[in-house]
Amino acid sequence: MVDQAKHPQFTDEHELYREQIRNFAEEELQPHADEWEEQRKFPREVFEQMAELGFLGARYPEKYGGSGGDVWHTAVLCEEMPRCRMAGLTLSILVQMEMCTPVINELGTEKQKKEFLEPAIKGDKVGALGVSEPGAGSDVAGIRTTAEKDGDEYVINGQKTWITNGTRADFITLAARTDTDPDMRYGGITLFTFPTDVDGFEVGKKLKKVGNRTSDTAELFFDDCRIPEEYVLGQENMGFYHIMQNFQGERLVGALTGVAGAQLILDDTIEYAKDREAFEKPLTGFQVIRHRIVDMETELAACRQLAYHAADLFERDVPAQKEISMAKAKVGERAMDVIDECLQIHGGMGYIEETNVARAWRDTRLMSIGGGTTEIMKEIVAELMPLRPD
């Protein structure tokens, strides 16, 4: 459990919530890790189970089935879900909770909330975030999928890729270009709530990834897909700015989860180093190993405090783009460094694919890529300092 004397933002209520999530992750999910990793998927019923326990709506209004909690409830879930030992499953759940639905809660009409947000919180519908394209990943303004107005409908054409939950999504929070004028690069994008039962929508191939194997990641195709104008989410042609705001929550949960996942592997490694003997003494009997472990513990403590600081600003509605970008960049690099060092301490055992440290080594590599690369995070911070010459 978290030491509330050191981290007083976590109340007794948060710690009870932590215990519930930890038990669920360790007892209900972790036993299936090897099987689901091998299958490269997990059952849809996991969404339903987590909804029944109130985990999918932690900080959403009770009106729509949520628990009315705060960002620290989300932080607790980010810190405990990695105990399931399937980063892909954790990612899929966070896409549902913190990536495709927050913008619906913040900008959606009452009808959109009832049709998409409420069933997502209840686990009845699975959602995805449809932004990335083959030629536009971190460069959101470069998307080419179009939504052309035709009467009281929009006709959508294009392609999305690297879409988590893509093969089983019931709806997509979709970004499309509604103004193709080159001068409207940032101002010509609109968000939509897009139900996937629309004619012309097709799931392409499921993508095979290096890590995060239990999450389904897919190519999506849109061929003259017609949706009513009431599915416009927020203001027309303001989608780029809506996405940038939505990214703040996505990047924050990425940082929080990344720290927790690395800490879990470091804790495993400490126990391994205490038990594993070399030259007639445990690995922790060697000063070089002890100091390596201390360095890693220190790095993660620093990363955690940076992520907590960003979360505090986010919760208080204080502009936090700089701090969130710093946290995601820092965690993306340091978490990978820590897990790589943990694998080294495990030696040959760490290179066996079925081990937790090997799985985490594969999975954590995504941290500095997904949700905006480390390079993009640093450029955001550079702009906000500011460093770029006029």
pLDDT digits (tens, 9 = 90+) for 38-96: 999 999 999 999 999 999 999 999 999 999 999 999 999 999 999 999 999 999 999 99
Residue 298: its pLDDT value, please?
Answer: 98
Instruction: Give Dmax (Cα) for the chain.
Output: 79
Q: What percent of the chain has pLDDT over 70?
A: 99
pTM of the model: 0.95
The pLDDT of residue 168 is above 90: yes
The pLDDT of residue 157 is above 80: yes
pLDDT classification of 360: cutoffs 50, 70, 90: very high
The pLDDT of residue 299 is above 90: yes
Instruction: Single out the residue of 226, 162, 167, 231 nearest to residue 200, CA to CA.
Output: 226
Catalogue all structural domains in the chain, each as residue range(s) with its CATH number: 12-121 (1.10.540.10), 127-236 (2.40.110.10), 241-384 (1.20.140.10)
The pLDDT of residue 202 is above 80: yes
pLDDT classification of 145: cutoffs 50, 70, 90: very high
Residue 315: its pLDDT value, please?
Answer: 96
The pLDDT of residue 5 is above 90: no
Catalytic residue among 219, 250, 299, 341: 250
pLDDT digits (tens, 9 = 90+) for 213-227: 999 999 999 999 999
What are the beta bridge partners of residue 175? Answer: 191
pLDDT classification of 1: cutoffs 50, 70, 90: low
Residues 6 or more apart whose CB falls under 8 angstroms from that of 200 comprise 156, 222, 223, 224, 225, 226
pLDDT classification of 129: cutoffs 50, 70, 90: very high
Residue 236: its pLDDT value, please?
Answer: 95
Alpha carbons 303 and 334: distance in angstroms, whole number? 8
Alpha carbons 224 and 199: distance in angstroms, whole number? 8
271 has catalytic annotation: no
pLDDT classification of 247: cutoffs 50, 70, 90: very high
Q: Which of 133-137, 231-235, 270-274, 296-300 has the lowest mean pLDDT?
A: 133-137
- How much is the average pLDDT of 242-263? 96
The pLDDT of residue 180 is above 90: no
pLDDT digits (tens, 9 = 90+) for 303-333: 999 999 999 999 999 999 999 999 999 999 9
The pLDDT of residue 164 is above 90: yes
Residue 186: its pLDDT value, please?
Answer: 86
pLDDT classification of 139: cutoffs 50, 70, 90: confident
Check if the beta carbon of residue 320 is closer than 8 Å to that of residue 372: no
The pLDDT of residue 151 is above 90: yes
